[in-house]
């Protein structure tokens, strides 16, 4: 005897495949977004001499991995209502509303004769067995999105291999910043030594520390 559980199991397998298809599609879009974002942020930071070569690579890899994974997980676990999914599959598989009707009738056993429910379930399950879900819900990448991702990877590669002048400018800026910090620390230490020197008067301390503070 056919029950609603039998049909629900078939529907669950279709929903699971739909989740994987949806996750793959959104992971592909997340990859495009991640590559675009990493290219934009990386280019902006390089133009301001703020990224070294290793930091640029870390930025690109981290964003380009996190966004597609996050997008894929959200798409996979996004809630799917069984009845709405059944209506979608009825249209996709050309089932003539068999599955959705069977589920609706099974949810109202007090209003519909049991014989009619059984017949509808049997008809829906029989029709569902003829469905090739793998063909109707293929798991494959979108060619256009793949080409866009490839183009972005090539652009990032060009920046990586041809951006030596940017990376050198960033290294020089980093060296200058470090040197300034070291000098500032040295000046701070001299100021402390002057202020703690008991052999100097307050006027002498002020005269010595004022130019140091200005330099700092």
pLDDT at position 189 is 80
Low-confidence ranges of the chain (pLDDT < 50): none
Give the Cα separation of 142 and 7 in Å (integer): 31
pTM of the model: 0.76
Give the Cα separation of 184 and 191 in Å (integer): 10
CB 43, CB 164: distance < 8 Å: no
**Cα separation of the two ends of the chain:** 88
pLDDT at position 2 is 60
Give the Cα separation of 125 and 10 in Å (integer): 8
| Three-state DSSP state, 197 | coil
pLDDT in tens, 108-130: 877 778 788 888 888 888 888 88
pLDDT at position 1 is 56
Least Cα distance to 106 among 216, 208, 213, 6 occurs for 6
pLDDT at position 147 is 94
Count the residues in the chain.
Answer: 216
pLDDT at position 191 is 78
CB 25, CB 142: distance < 8 Å: yes
pLDDT at position 88 is 93
């Amino acid at each position: 005897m056919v029950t609603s559980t039998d049909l629900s199991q078939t529907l669950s397998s279709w929903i699971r495949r739909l989740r994987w298809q949806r996750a793959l599609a959104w992971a592909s879009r997340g990859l495009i977004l991640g590559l675009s974002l990493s290219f934009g942020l990386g280019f902006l930071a390089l133009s301001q001499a703020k990224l070294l070569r290793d930091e640029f690579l870390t930025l690109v890899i981290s964003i380009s991995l996190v966004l597609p994974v996050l997008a894929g997980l959200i798409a996979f676990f996004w809630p799917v209502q069984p009845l709405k999914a059944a209506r979608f599959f009825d249209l996709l598989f050309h089932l003539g509303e068999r599955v959705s009707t069977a589920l609706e009738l099974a949810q109202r056993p007090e209003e519909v004769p049991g014989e009619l429910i059984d017949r509808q379930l049997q008809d829906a399950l029989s029709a569902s067995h003829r469905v090739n879900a793998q063909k109707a819900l293929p798991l494959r990448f979108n060619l256009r999105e793949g080409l866009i991702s490839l183009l972005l990877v090539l652009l990032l590669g060009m920046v990586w291999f041809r951006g030596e002048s940017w990376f050198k400018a960033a290294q020089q800026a980093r060296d200058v910043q470090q040197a300034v910090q070291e000098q500032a620390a040295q000046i701070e230490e001299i100021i402390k030594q002057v202020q703690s020197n008991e052999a100097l008067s307050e006027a002498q301390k002020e005269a010595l520390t004022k130019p140091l503070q200005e330099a700092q």
